[in-house]
Structure 1
Amino acid sequence: MILANASTLIGRTLRSLCRLTSRLTSDRGGNVVMIFALVMPALVMITLGGIDLNRITTVKARVQDALDAATLAAARSSYTDPNDLKTVALVALKANLRNASIEPIADSDVKIVLTENQVVVADMRVQVKTLVANIVLPPYGKLMDDTLPVSVHSEVNRSSRNIEVALALDITGSMDNCSRNCPAVSKIAALKAAAYELVDIVVQKQQSPYYSKISLVPYSMGVNVGDYADTVRGPLRSASRPVTAATWLTGSVKTISDISRASTAVVTASGHGFVRGDRVVIWKSDRMTSLNGVAFTVGAVDTNKFELTGVNSRNFNQFSGSSYVAKCARTDCSVTITVAQHGLSTEGDAAYLTNMGGLEQLNGIGFAVKAISGNTVTLGLDGSGSRLASAPKGGAAYTSGGQLACGVDGCTVRDFINKLGTWTRQNASTCVSERTGAADFSDAKPIDSSTYVGRNYPDAGNSCPSVAIVPLTSSKKTITDEIDKLVAAGSTAGQIGLAWAWYMVSPNFGVWSGQSVPAQNDTSKTLKAVVLMTDGEFNTPYFRGVIASDAGAGSGGDDTHINQPATNGSSFYQSFELCKKIRDSGVIIYTVGFDIPAAANLTGDIDSAGELMQRCASGTARAFQARNSTDLTAAFREIGRDITRLRISR
């Protein structure tokens, strides 16, 4: 194709020169003809030489990259003899210059030495094939011959630095879509291809005397930490706590034989004994389920009937079967239990009771925590809803037994009141959420409840990623095998992915072992980098292990969000706070926005992925925008090269 284009350009140029020559030869002045004859060779060479000049520039850039990589490979080796260094360098050179438009490399074309200051210095001279100069009519073309010489130079300080890189890769549901070159390749497939290339560039075969390692942090609604879960978020407890006392109702339980469908509901319960103003609760109403577990005020009464003040039952289902009613011991009809070391909180927690003696109707029902005083907990009926419909008759007074099921943050299950006000139970996973408290935006070692990272209780529709983190390793296969398993699903908790990328290269985190232990933070000895990639908006902050009520669109339904705002603020706010801390620790941050809008502004609060990617990176040159799979691969390739080049002196 290049030769065809060059021939076309040459033909057009020569035809134009011929027409110009014809016009000039008809000029009787003579001087013009002589001048033209003298300058025509130069004009031809200048015009056509531009083709070769552009080509040579392109080839030189590739040769320079290849020599840089070869010099780095030689510097990583333990050799000091020039011949041994050259042997290592030639292997890398020939691999990187395969199919390049240059003449075959001879050993004599490459010179490499190790200086007294432990700097590996390499020089190379290659011959680049020309496309134009060698086909210009003699004798002018032969002045430039068929090739042109290109010289490149590279130096690597052997005593420079190791490399530790952490990849925080977005594997959320939107990554299952196509990029702008759709339907050629899905985003997740494009990410895999780009990540393979970066790993191949960064991780070198020779790991002595200086190593190059990489780690993997796939993230979506959280980060799966696999076998490290108990260490970093603390072990989970499943044991329930015994109930030693409980108060809910007073008097006796009455059986309801009918509830009218009227503008004011009338309840028929023989000999109920209630008076106007009493507070009562109904349960096990099979058809009129909206009445179950709600505190009502008694209105007009007679011996066997009473009204439910403010309740219009015209549109209710027809009453059938039987249900039960009793007077509440408290005006709000809340339940008071005594449980030592219950572990409950008044914020966002719910209680789940089992094996209650005397109050069997409370077994298996969720309650909102309303107040706590020592070992005494007040539980509201809010959120229990129709669950009382299937409860047994039970009684009005507690007799014995009972367990407060472990359903708080830190247990194997999490009971909470969701954003819709109903009771929800979700199971723990090996995923984690954000840190809170004094260690919120730090890389401190997780050793106790004040430094543990957050637990994660996902719902079935937004589950924990199947691929877990991979700590630092020099094994390309270990990383690429896990990259190959990535599956796109879930919402976007980018702040968690970013935090864990930092933990991977932080010596302070103190969790990793063996070859995965990061070096100390000394930029003169070890280059540490984090690569944060995303294709969308960060929308998943947490409150005590559950997605918060103020999470963004696309983070799941209101029935799976706890009715509490995010502890640490929005995902964007958290991410930017982490960005600043990571950069301050000496870690370089690269960001890649995949098919996302560019930053709308670069000041004030961050509320878009484009703004975060631009402002989080360690300088604008390290913030990449990729519109399609080709751009994504190019971005990851450039990041890999930049990381490698950071050890090259000049």
Structure 2
Amino acid sequence: MATKGVGGSRWVSRRLVDFAQDNGGNVAILFAMALVVLLLSIGAAIDIGRWLHARDQTVAAVDAALLAGGRALQTDNKDEAGAIAAAKKFYDQNVTTRLPVTDDTVTFKVTDGGKAMTASGEAYIKTPFLRLASIEKLPLISRAETEFSKAELAVGGNGGENLEISMMLDVTGSMAGQKLRDLKDAAEDLIDIVVWDDQSEFTSKVALVPFSEDIRLPNSGAMNKARGTALPNKKTVRTNYGIFSYDTDYYLSDCVVERVGSQRYTDAAPGSGKYVLAHYTTQTTGRGNSRKGVCTIPDDAAVVPLSDDKDSLKEAVEGLSASGGTAGHLGTAWAWYTLSPNWSTLWPAPNRPQAYGAENLQKIAILMTDGEYNTQYSSEGVSVSANEAANGSSATQARALCAAMKAKGITVYTVGFQLGGQYSESYQTLYQCASEPGKFYNADDGEQLKQAFRDIALKLSSLYLSK
């Protein structure tokens, strides 16, 4: 029995040793533990991926909303409540496809005296996998405002560049009534946006070039420099019609028209052989030796050289009235001349344009009209048909002037007002004059006209995000 007892003990001992040395259970346990870790890692990766995607959408939506609010500040007369509402609406629209989030408290406010917009708040995304590790949610954006961008308006002299803008404004007879009212609103709105209150570091100036059949300069000094002084008061022009002819007397007006000769499509400074023509007309006032020609363009529509006086510019726009035909090439030329340093002697020192290529300078021409260019001149400064004109049709001249102006580095925007179809000559003239297709606008009504001018103003007024 003792022997048996000893043998049984040995058997038990061997079984215990075998169990102790059996690794199969350890492998199973380790595999189970590794599987748990692997699954948690995969789940964590999924949660992190969801978080990154939602965070990117949230940050992008905030940045876009800040820009939308900044644009509203520019275009809505600094209506802070409206700008905040625009930003919030834009944010909400841009997170509609975002993964479900919790505790989204992102809000917007206007700062820096109405010149900037910032965001604050926070938002979280729930973590279905990481919650097993007691991480219930991840922050998409921090409450700290240093995490947010800031939309700053390039106003108050912080735009980083100087602007010189010339606006050609159609004040021909076809613009009378509501169309002229719409143009005034659009032009004044642009002036409000692009002429900064603080001109201490960078400047923004606007020139006004109203046109109809001729151009009126602001004073006799500018007029004499542009057209010269040794001019006869009367010209008699013979017109031939087949077997008969007749003479017509034309009288010198106080306005100017196009330039002829080799400099007709350049901005060479006026001088001998390079003056613009005086406008001679049969429409007169006075009698005898005091008889003189009458300008077609109204008295209240003189050129205004580059100015940063916002109130004076808007007052000049508000005073415009409409009369006469459409010599669009004249408006085009003078939009160029008011930006050209070669013509600077016509203007007082504060109104003179800077040199081409000056550092941090943009020169912009905005050409607006509502119809066909239908008035051009002979070498005598007398209105004639296109086939009799010294330089050809008004449209042909306008296109040539636009090409030359753009070659000088001037950016040209064009705005048509109820031009009609794209195959009309007026449409094609403005389309070709624009620096690129995106800088051509064709407004069908007053609201679209205002929106066109606003869009140009926004493109010229830098709106940028900073941290």
The verdict on a shared fold, with TM-score over 0.5 as the criterion, is: yes
Asked if 1:629 is matched to 2:446, the reply is yes
Asked if 1:431 is matched to 2:255, the reply is yes
Q: Which residue of 2 aligns with 1:475?
A: 309
Corresponding letter in the other structure for 2:332 = L
Q: Equivalences for 1:85-484 in 2 at 5 Å?
A: 94=80, 97=83, 105=109, 124-125=118-119, 152-154=149-151, 160-176=160-176, 186-227=178-219, 228-236=222-230, 410-418=231-239, 421-448=245-272, 450-460=273-283, 463-466=296-299, 467-484=301-318
Asked if 1:65 is matched to 2:71, the reply is yes
Cα distance in 1 between the residues matched to 2:270 and 2:326: 24
Q: Which residue of 1 aligns with 2:40?
A: none
Contact 2:72 / 2:86 at 8 angstroms: preserved in 1? no
Contact 2:66 / 2:87 at 8 angstroms: preserved in 1? no
**TM-score (norm. length: structure 1):** 0.48
Cα distance in 1 between the residues matched to 2:233 and 2:64: 59
Measure how far apart 1:525 and its partner are: 1.9
Cα distance in 2 between the residues matched to 1:208 and 1:438: 41
Measure how far apart 1:478 and its partner are: 1.4
Task: Give secondary structure in 2 for the equivalent of 1:487.
Answer: coil
Measure how far apart 1:417 and its partner are: 2.5
Measure how far apart 1:648 and its partner are: 8.6
Cα distance in 2 between the residues matched to 1:101 and 1:65: 9
The structure-2 alpha-carbon separation of the partners of 1:472 and 1:583, relative to structure 1 and needing over 3 Å to count, comes to same
Task: Give secondary structure in 1 for the equivalent of 2:342.
Answer: coil
Corresponding letter in the other structure for 1:489 = S
The structure-2 alpha-carbon separation of the partners of 1:424 and 1:609, relative to structure 1 and needing over 3 Å to count, comes to same
Corresponding letter in the other structure for 2:352 = V
Q: Which residue of 2 aligns with 1:643?
A: 460
The structure-2 alpha-carbon separation of the partners of 1:578 and 1:101, relative to structure 1 and needing over 3 Å to count, comes to closer
Contact 2:68 / 2:87 at 8 angstroms: preserved in 1? no
Measure how far apart 1:211 and its partner are: 0.6
Gaps of 5+ in 1: 1-54, 71-90, 112-119, 129-142, 144-148, 178-185, 237-409, 552-563, 601-606
Cα distance in 1 between the residues matched to 2:368 and 2:121: 40
Measure how far apart 1:565 and its partner are: 1.1
The structure-2 alpha-carbon separation of the partners of 1:547 and 1:192, relative to structure 1 and needing over 3 Å to count, comes to same
Cα distance in 1 between the residues matched to 2:397 and 2:246: 29
Measure how far apart 1:599 and its partner are: 2.5
Q: Which residue of 1 aligns with 2:326?
A: 492
Measure how far apart 1:550 and its partner are: 2.1
Cα distance in 2 between the residues matched to 1:629 and 1:58: 28
What is the alpha-carbon root mean square deviation over aligned residues? 3.8
Measure how far apart 1:226 and its partner are: 3.5
**TM-score (norm. length: structure 2):** 0.66
> How big is each residue's C-alpha offset from its partner over 1:418-441, in whole Å with a ceiling of 9 and x where there is no partner?
476432222212211111112111
2:407 to 578, 584, 588: 584
Corresponding letter in the other structure for 2:193 = I
Contact 2:214 / 2:327 at 8 angstroms: preserved in 1? yes
Measure how far apart 1:463 and its partner are: 1.9
Cα distance in 1 between the residues matched to 2:372 and 2:236: 28
Cα distance in 2 between the residues matched to 1:647 and 1:506: 30
Cα distance in 2 between the residues matched to 1:648 and 1:100: 17
Q: Which residue of 1 aligns with 2:363?
A: 528
Cα distance in 2 between the residues matched to 1:221 and 1:65: 37
- Structure (1/2) with the larger helix percentage: 2
Measure how far apart 1:412 and its partner are: 1.5
Corresponding letter in the other structure for 1:622 = K
Task: Give secondary structure in 1 for the equivalent of 2:366.
Answer: strand
> How big is each residue's C-alpha offset from its partner over 1:218-237, in whole Å with a ceiling of 9 and x where there is no partner?
0000111141111110114x
Contact 2:70 / 2:463 at 8 angstroms: preserved in 1? no
Cα distance in 1 between the residues matched to 2:364 and 2:65: 29
1:615 to 411, 425, 432: 432
Tell me how many residue pairs correspond in the alignment.
349
The structure-2 alpha-carbon separation of the partners of 1:92 and 1:627, relative to structure 1 and needing over 3 Å to count, comes to closer
Cα distance in 1 between the residues matched to 2:336 and 2:352: 13
Contact 1:540 / 1:548 at 8 angstroms: preserved in 2? yes
Cα distance in 2 between the residues matched to 1:649 and 1:458: 58
Measure how far apart 1:443 and its partner are: 0.8
Contact 2:375 / 2:394 at 8 angstroms: preserved in 1? yes
